[in-house]
């Protein structure tokens, strides 16, 4: 490991960089929170890292009456999200970046003629030499995707005769399988699939991408990555906060739609997929599709009852502070049956994963914010150290996605002294150890990939539909099944006790702490 770190820090080491062509980024919904909080800071990081092309501009588009100067002030010069950067760099450097940003007011509606917008794009294109390469980022509700795509098409802004045209859409991509198909069909009316980039910021995280490298570039893992050596797989996504100001949105979505269908099933696909023929984007996405299609769909009530659990957090005290229950949150129906905790046990129907259970949970108001994958390996068939208790402590490969990003291997070692007392030891790697290497944030990485036309980390239409095909029966059961339980759990604990029944017989949930190498207790309730 030490050699690896020295290698990465070596000044002669240079990552292979793809060419980023001159282009314009057009952001719809530019007056919203996402633009100021995530997109513009990501673009600034690309700017200071010299990752932007020579000729690059951003055109913000929205229904707010801002103009170029007000927009620059809002997202750069007075933005709280770039306050640190304004202190770090001189004013001229910041201003030079801000001057790359422009704004066009659409008026009262997104669904209008884009004739004026097309002229503004054309003028900026000619003045700043972006060579007809336009990327449209739709930071808007999904209901506006098709109208915006149509209006762009009406002005020929989807035409790639003179430069490429790409469109990026944010999740949620659909509310169900049917609505996802409608969204896909609507976009495909005006843009080809190769022009559409469905962004999932989780796939931009370095450790998610490292799943591919961990699996396919290391001979110590790939031969073991199957049912012969892996006992079960566990994925936890936990947030310490509640729904905050998103109660109105969240109550119509829930944990299964908000996190499981998109982020977590994409991670599952990377774990389950077969080796692609190459690192080509389409080859990787082809294998991800096969993986998602191999998930065993649960469509009878008995199976769904035994393998799914939903719950809501209830009021409690955390660190001495009163915390509202979910039904007490602003914008939430007082009789809501929307889940803030979802846990699902499922199987994968292919040779590699036959009979290996997957346990995936996601929730709000947990003890800490964390996302990680745990690969539990089988114990040796012949145990010669039974009296040491080592058989109750399986080998684990822990891939921490956030925070404290890194990889942890847990394995058995002999405790010094007489006899064979065996204990678990940790071997770990942290991305924070790469102090001289810039680790890109998720939006930074994904935006740069889209600028370069690399769709590897973006979901394809058939992937999205395959994920919904697995999730839809669960949602239908929870909404319409007989005697479906909604459990409660105190805010600040690791979910309802009933969730332990789901994993009973194979072990117990790993309740991770903020630090990768540690495991927490069951709860932090005061």
Catalytic entry in 134, 201, 232, 263: 263
Rounded to whole angstroms, how far apart are CA atoms 449 and 37? 20
For the question of residue 263 being annotated catalytic, the response is yes
**Cα(first)–Cα(last) distance of the chain, in Å?**
40
CB neighbour list of residue 185: distance below 8 Å, 6 or more residues apart? none
**Burial (CB count <10 Å: 0-12, 13-18, 19+), residue 455:** buried
Other C-beta atoms lying within 10 Å of the C-beta of residue 164:
15
- CA distances for 202 relative to 136, 147, 260, 369, 428, angstroms: 20, 27, 12, 14, 22
Rounded to whole angstroms, how far apart are CA atoms 205 and 207? 6
DSSP 8-state code for residue 326: G
Q: What is the DSSP string of 121-150?
A: HHHHHHHHT-TT-EEEEE-S-GGGHHHHHH
Token reading at 476: 């239908």
Q: Answer for the pair 114, 78: CB distance below 8 angstroms, yes or no.
A: no
Q: For 336-387, where are the E strands, in sequence order?
A: 341-346, 358-363, 370-377
CA 333 to chain centre: 27
Sheet order of strands, 134-138 included: 101-105, 56-62, 23-28, 134-138, 165-169, 196-198
Token reading at 184: 């896909």
Token reading at 24: 């314009």
Rounded to whole angstroms, how far apart are CA atoms 32 and 51? 25
Token reading at 404: 């404290």
Rounded to whole angstroms, how far apart are CA atoms 283 and 286? 5
DSSP 8-state code for residue 518: -
Burial letters 9-41, b for 16+ CB under 10 A, else e: eeeeeeeeeeebbbbbbbbbbbbbebbbebbbb
Catalytic positions: 263
């Amino acid at each position: 490991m030490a050699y690896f770190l020295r290698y990465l820090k070596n000044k002669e080491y240079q990552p292979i960089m793809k060419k980023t062509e001159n282009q314009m980024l057009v952001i719809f919904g530019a007056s919203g929170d996402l633009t100021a909080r995530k997109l513009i800071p990501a673009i600034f990081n690309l700017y200071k890292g010299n990752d932007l092309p020579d000729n690059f501009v951003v055109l913000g588009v929205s229904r707010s009456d801002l103009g170029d100067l007000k927009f620059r002030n809002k997202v750069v010069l007075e933005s709280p999200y770039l306050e640190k950067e304004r202190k770090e760099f001189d004013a001229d450097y910041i201003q030079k970046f801000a001057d790359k940003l422009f704004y066009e007011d659409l008026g009262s509606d997104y669904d209008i003629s884009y004739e004026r917008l097309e002229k503004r794009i054309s003028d900026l294109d000619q003045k700043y030499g972006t060579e007809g390469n336009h990327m449209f980022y739709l930071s808007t509700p999904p209901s506006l995707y098709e109208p915006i795509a149509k209006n762009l098409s009406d002005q020929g802004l989807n035409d790639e005769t003179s430069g490429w045209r790409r469109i990026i859409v944010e999740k949620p991509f659909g509310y169900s399988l049917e609505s996802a198909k409608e969204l896909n069909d609507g976009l495909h009316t005006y843009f080809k699939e190769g022009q559409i980039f469905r962004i999932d910021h989780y796939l931009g995280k370095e450790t998610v991408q490292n799943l591919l490298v961990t699996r396919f570039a290391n001979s110590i893992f790939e031969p073991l990555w199957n049912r012969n050596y892996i006992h079960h797989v566990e994925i936890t996504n936990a947030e310490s906060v509640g729904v905050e100001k998103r109660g109105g949105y969240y109550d119509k979505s829930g944990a299964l739609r908000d996190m499981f269908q998109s982020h977590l099933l994409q991670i599952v696909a990377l774990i389950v997929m077969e080796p692609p023929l190459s690192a080509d984007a389409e080859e990787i996405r082809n294998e991800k599709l096969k993986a998602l299609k191999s998930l065993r769909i649960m469509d009878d009530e008995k199976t769904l009852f035994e393998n799914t659990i939903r719950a809501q957090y209830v009021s409690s005290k955390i660190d001495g502070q009163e915390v509202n229950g979910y039904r007490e949150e602003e914008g939430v129906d007082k009789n809501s049956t929307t889940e803030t905790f979802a846990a699902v046990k499922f199987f994968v129907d292919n040779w590699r994963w036959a009979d290996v259970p997957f346990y995936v949970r996601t929730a709000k108001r947990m003890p800490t914010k964390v996302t990680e994958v745990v690969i539990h390996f089988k114990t040796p068939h012949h145990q010669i150290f039974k009296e040491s208790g080592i058989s109750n402590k399986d080998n684990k490969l822990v891939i921490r996605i956030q925070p404290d990003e890194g990889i942890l291997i847990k394995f058995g070692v002999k405790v010094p002294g007489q006899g064979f007392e065996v204990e678990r030891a940790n071997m770990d790697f942290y991305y924070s150890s790469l102090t001289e290497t810039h680790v890109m944030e998720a939006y930074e990485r994904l935006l740069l990939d889209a600028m370069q036309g690399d769709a590897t980390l973006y979901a394809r239409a058939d992937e999205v539909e395959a994920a919904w095909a697995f999730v839809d029966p669960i949602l239908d059961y929870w909404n319409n099944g007989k005697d479906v339980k909604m459990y409660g759990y105190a805010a600040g604990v690791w979910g309802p006790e009933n969730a332990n029944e789901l994993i009973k017989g194979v072990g117990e949930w790993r309740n991770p702490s903020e630090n990768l190498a540690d495991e927490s207790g069951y709860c932090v309730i005061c």
